[in-house]
Amino acid sequence: MSAVLDALDAWGRRGDRIALATVVETKKSAPQPAGTKMAVNEAGDVVGAVSGGCVEGAVVEVAESVIDGAQARLLHYGIADSDAWDVGLPCGGEISIWVEPYEPSGLQLRFSEHSISGTRAAVVTAVAGGPVLGAKLLVTPDAQPSGSLGDPELDAAALSLATDAMWSEHSQLVEHEGATLFIDVSAPRPSLIIVGAVDFAAQLAEVAKLADWRPFIVDPRARFATPERFPAAERVLVSWPQEAFAELEIDRATAIAVLTHDPKLDDAALSAALASDAGYIGAMGSRRAQAIRRERLVVAGVDPDQLDRVSAPIGLDLGALTAAETALSIMSEIIAVRRGHSGGRLIEARGRIHEAVSV
């Protein structure tokens, strides 16, 4: 993805005419997820890929026609099971690709800048059925939307859909009253705030980093909260949770894991976490310890209904014994909650195994 964005930037600065192909929908086990991009310039240079190699040639031909002035197009391809192994796609599949001219200015450039910097944004494109084919609406968390799809009611619906997609970090194709809209999402790596500079925290930070999360360690005890003990952490904050949380700017994509076993720290961390927008809050401890902690927090004025947001005991039931296994259990639950899954065994699951995700 970064190679495509770099090419768009370089070609745009040079004044090239460019076409951009984006995967907007997949079915079954198509080789690239929604949001994957391929760029083509007027010299015939190609960067990126939209499949395992089976449809690139056809997409490049369409892209070249778009560069020459043809209208943007929504393409659909089915990959036969007999061809699946040749393109690295054992299950076959279907893929839809939007091919449009790329303008190195305006909303396309602004969304590319969000993608390059890893900041949160969503751009909605009318790919079929809307008042204006190819029209765009750019949505960010802290500003008014930019652009228009050509109809105020459609803009309002797109704003709501884009806001949800922006926080779920899921690029997707949606239908709304006859219009087909593709919502492309840019997002930073999600943050995991680990409260408690304990051995479990070091292992959890390692697992979180491996899963491409940004782990932070929070503990006011300077003797324990040292960067040397937590090499995988983005930062180690020697401060009380309320102060650290304010500094880290928690949002709906943030997970908080409380691991201290110290009532003073546990209660302070959970009270601050429940006052935040964190999408996941978990706390370590036995069921008896959880019940006692709950009583303390209610007495301290925490709304009992709010306490239902806390996953406690934290983690999935993996039968974990070691610190590393416990870290895997905790991170597995965080990912499952983030994706809206229960975390059960795949052999017992029904429906699609792999969700389409943005990249």
Tens digit of each residue's pLDDT (9 = 90 or more) over 195-221: 999 989 999 999 999 999 999 999 999
Residue 84's pLDDT is what? 47
- Domain interval for residue 19: 1-104
Higher per-residue pLDDT: 94 or 346: 94
With vertex at residue 37, the alpha carbon angle to CA 32 and CA 42, rounded to the nearest 5 degrees, is 140
Co-location of 26 and 136 in the same domain: no
Tell me if 269 is assigned to some domain.
Answer: yes
Co-location of 211 and 245 in the same domain: yes
d(C-alpha 310, C-alpha 137), whole Å = 36
Co-location of 43 and 6 in the same domain: yes
Could you tell me the pLDDT band of residue 33, with boundaries at 50, 70 and 90? confident
Co-location of 305 and 207 in the same domain: yes
Could you tell me the pLDDT band of residue 55, with boundaries at 50, 70 and 90? confident
Residues in contact with 166: Cβ distance below 8 Å, sequence separation at least 6, in sequence order: 120, 121, 122, 139, 141, 185, 187
CATH code at 287? 3.40.50.720
Could you tell me the pLDDT band of residue 168, with boundaries at 50, 70 and 90? confident
Residue 209's pLDDT is what? 97
277 vs 139, 261, 283, 332, 350, CA distance in Å?
Answer: 19, 23, 16, 21, 31
pLDDT in tens, 302-339: 999 999 999 999 999 999 999 999 999 999 999 999 88
Co-location of 311 and 208 in the same domain: yes
Co-location of 208 and 173 in the same domain: no
Q: Is the pLDDT of residue 42 over 60?
A: yes
Co-location of 260 and 243 in the same domain: yes
Q: Is the pLDDT of residue 29 over 80?
A: no
Per the DSSP assignment, residues forming a β-bridge with 192 are 215, 255
Co-location of 35 and 132 in the same domain: no
Residue 307's pLDDT is what? 93
Co-location of 9 and 131 in the same domain: no
pLDDT in tens, 110-165: 999 999 998 999 999 999 998 999 999 999 998 899 999 999 999 999 999 999 99
Q: How far apart are the first and last CA of the chain?
A: 7
Co-location of 242 and 291 in the same domain: yes
pLDDT in tens, 345-354: 777 766 555 5
Tell me if 198 is assigned to some domain.
Answer: yes
Residue 269's pLDDT is what? 96
Could you tell me the pLDDT band of residue 355, with boundaries at 50, 70 and 90? low
- Yes or no: say if 140 and 120 are a contact pair by the CB < 8 Å rule: yes
